[in-house]
Structure 1
Amino acid sequence: MQPPKATTSSTVRPIQRFASAVSKCSAESAAYGKCILADYNSVHKDLCANEFLRLKNCYLLAAKKV
């Protein structure tokens, strides 16, 4: 078993990439959250599909830039 690799300051951890990408999608996150909150007692599949897809696309585009 090999010891874990030492991280350098230039290494970006996946969670840091995720946080950076998500921070660029605050409007889409808010829209999705509002949609879910509007009917949270009866959430079901595809309730907020359009909002989710906008959030997903925003995240994927932002993640490519990180």
Structure 2
Amino acid sequence: MHPKPTQVRPIQRMAQAVSKCSAEASLYGKCILADYNSVHKDMCAKEFLKLKDCYLAASKGGK
């Protein structure tokens, strides 16, 4: 069964939201890469929360 043309699949919605958060994703990635040999819990929590907030806002159409 094919989705209706006006129906947006969840993966499409996710891709659209993620594409709006490239700056936040870049900052998070740079934080992880800065010391990738000793990644630990909450190492980049601030950057991750910014990325998460951006994604949530974008997925709801807020960004």
The aligned amino acid for 1:45 is K
For 1:21, which of 13, 17, 21 is the aligned residue? 17
Q: What aligned pairs does 1:9-48 form with structure 2 within 5 A after superposition?
A: 9-48=5-44
- In the superposition, the TM-score normalised over structure 1's length comes to 0.89
In 2, distance between residues paired with 1:42 and 1:14?
A: 34
Larger Rg: 1
4+ residue runs of structure 1 moved beyond 2 angstroms? none
Shift of 1:59: 0.3
- In the superposition, the TM-score normalised over structure 2's length comes to 0.93
Matched residue count: 62
5+ unaligned residues in a row in structure 2: which ranges?
Answer: none
| Percentage of identical aligned residues | 68
5+ unaligned residues in a row in structure 1: which ranges?
Answer: none
In 2, distance between residues paired with 1:41 and 1:7?
A: 44
Shift of 1:7: 1.3
